[in-house]
Amino acid sequence: MNDPDDTRMRLRNNRLSYIWLIRQLALRGIATDKTEMSSVINGGRKGAKAELILKTSNSILDDYESLFLRKESPEDDKNKK
């Protein structure tokens, strides 16, 4: 099961908005709006579509984080000294 709290925290930590996520979902063929997204992320909406939104949202956030969050390597540690 996908955790709405995790999705909300990941959006916040990456400084991404619901609107950004709604657009990304639309690119993947999932239609939603601000009201529905808010209900899903806040845990008030359950069911197959809510699970699809959360699952796909987490996949989108995985992709975003792998592309835009730079992972520190051991080489970076050497350069800091």
- What pLDDT score does 53 carry? 97
- What pLDDT score does 77 carry? 53
* pLDDT average, residue stretch 11-17: 95
Is the confidence at residue 4, as pLDDT, over 70?
Answer: yes
Question: What are the structural domain ranges in the chain?
Answer: 4-80
For residue 70, what pLDDT band results from cuts at 50, 70 and 90? low
Is the confidence at residue 80, as pLDDT, over 60?
Answer: no
* pLDDT average, residue stretch 22-40: 97
DSSP 70: P
This prediction's pTM: 0.80
